[in-house]
Amino acid sequence: MKSKDDLEMSLESVIYVSWEESERGWGTRPDGCSLHLGEIDYRKYVKDYWDRQPDKINGLAPDEYSRPAGSPVEVFVSQNLYNRIKESENGLRFWKHQETKLVSEKELVYGEERSGWVGVKK
């Protein structure tokens, strides 16, 4: 079994962005996260996300959609997860239950900065 020091030494720094779901009549709730190698990848990922969304209908946002919540912050990920992010196009998206599993398996370790829904249980 790896010691805490060994585990921390094997982690890689990446950008974490919290996401929230907005649903008309229900409000907002945590909707997972996305992980990126850097700020440029994060910006491209979000731009691509919004480019894929439908246009407003009669000037109104869709009844349900996700959006970034808070600011990008540094987190740490296992080498395995880091390699998956590197192989992706601008980052990976994880739903809340997937994020919770990554944290419990120490694949994702939050940094000292917190933003968005990090650490919020709902």
Per-residue pLDDT of the chain (122 residues; tens, 9 = 90+): 444 455 555 899 999 999 998 877 787 788 899 999 999 999 999 999 888 877 766 666 676 778 899 899 999 999 999 999 999 999 999 999 999 999 999 999 998 877 776 654 44
40 φ, ψ (degrees, to nearest 5): -65, -45
Domain ranges, ordered by start, for the chain: 4-110
Q: What is the pTM of this model?
A: 0.81
* Long-range Cβ pairs for the range 84-90 (8 Å, 24+): 85/14, 85/35, 85/36, 85/37, 86/37, 90/36, 90/41, 90/42, 90/44, 90/45, 90/48
